[in-house]
Amino acid sequence: MKTEPGLHGHHISQQFNEELEDIKTNLLEMGGLVEQQLTDAIQSIIEADSEVASRVEAADVEVNEMELAIDESCHRILARRQPAASDLRLVLGIIKAINDLERIGDEAAKVARLAGELAQQGEPSKGYVEIRHIGERVRAMVNMSLDAFARYDPEAALAVAREDNNVDMEYGSAMREMITYMIEDPRSITRVLNIIWALRSLERIGDHAKNIAEHVVYMVVGEDVRHAGLSAMEEQVSSEE
């Protein structure tokens, strides 16, 4: 992945530069692992593949360890290097982004656990189309948010926030459909509930991707756009150009 070469080029200390690049690289590695977890989790549910499902759950330990290690590196940089301005925003942005990545990993592990239960409950269920569809969208959101992070690209971050609105709408319509299934066929309740939990986890993953996108805007623009709504975010990003 590309990194913006000019952004941290003003440091006297070459080593400090390298430390900052290192934690950014570590974040993107952690992001790559989480993306893989998510891809596998969706596959495990659609193909009822319990082997892939246990791989996702196992990866969660690694993701957690990465979060702690990167967090510690950030604390060390804050204590020793006392960064200011855009460097400080980068370190704080990373501290927040790894927290969101860790939660994405958690939700992916939940989806994988549900895959195991659904595989045991037999007969292909309604709701797989929705899982595949929403799963693909949030996977793309996670990918795009990491890309925005790597390239310091607030426009890409904005696209993630916009996409979250679409995912929320699709999620709402999928949920209404699932409730209709349950009412029509009460014997399917336990099974459809597992689909509902999986859809909910996917929707949460979209929220976390949006959070990461907001951290990117904060890092680049210097404005905290959380809770501000999409139009305020658009304004901040466009005023930067």
Site for a copy of itself in 34-73 (CB under 8 A): 64-65, 67-68, 71-72
The residue from 18, 58, 75, 238 that contacts a copy of itself (CB under 8 A) is 75
Contacts with a copy of itself by CB under 8 A: the residue count is 28
Residue 1 makes CB contacts below 8 A (sequence gap 6+) with 28, 147, 150, 151
Of the candidates 34, 225, 67, which has an alpha carbon nearest to the alpha carbon of residue 143?
A: 34
Q: How far is residue 114's CA from residue 128's CA, in Å, rounded to a whole number? A: 13
The residue from 1, 169, 179, 232 that contacts a copy of itself (CB under 8 A) is 179
Site for a copy of itself in 204-233 (CB under 8 A): 224, 226-227
Q: How far is residue 220's CA from residue 189's CA, in Å, rounded to a whole number? A: 47
Q: Is 121 in the site for a copy of itself (CB under 8 A)?
A: no
Q: How far is the CB of 176 from a copy of itself (least distance, A)?
A: 10
- The H or E element containing residue 62 is helix 50-81
Give me the sign of the Cα torsion angle 118, 123, 129, 130.
negative
Task: Return the number of the residue (126 or 132) whose C-beta is nearest a copy of itself.
Answer: 126
Q: How far is the CB of 1 from a copy of itself (least distance, A)?
A: 26
Q: Is 99 in the site for a copy of itself (CB under 8 A)?
A: yes
Task: Return the number of the residue (82 or 120) whose C-beta is nearest a copy of itself.
Answer: 82
Rounding to the nearest 10 degrees, give the CA dihedral for residues 64, 69, 71, 75: 160
Q: Is 82 in the site for a copy of itself (CB under 8 A)?
A: yes
User: What phi and psi, each to the nearest 5 degrees, are found at residue 167?
Assistant: -60, -45
Residues near a copy of itself, by CB under 8 A: 64-65, 67-68, 71-72, 75, 78-79, 82, 84-85, 88-89, 92, 95-96, 99, 179, 182-183, 186, 189-190, 193, 224, 226-227
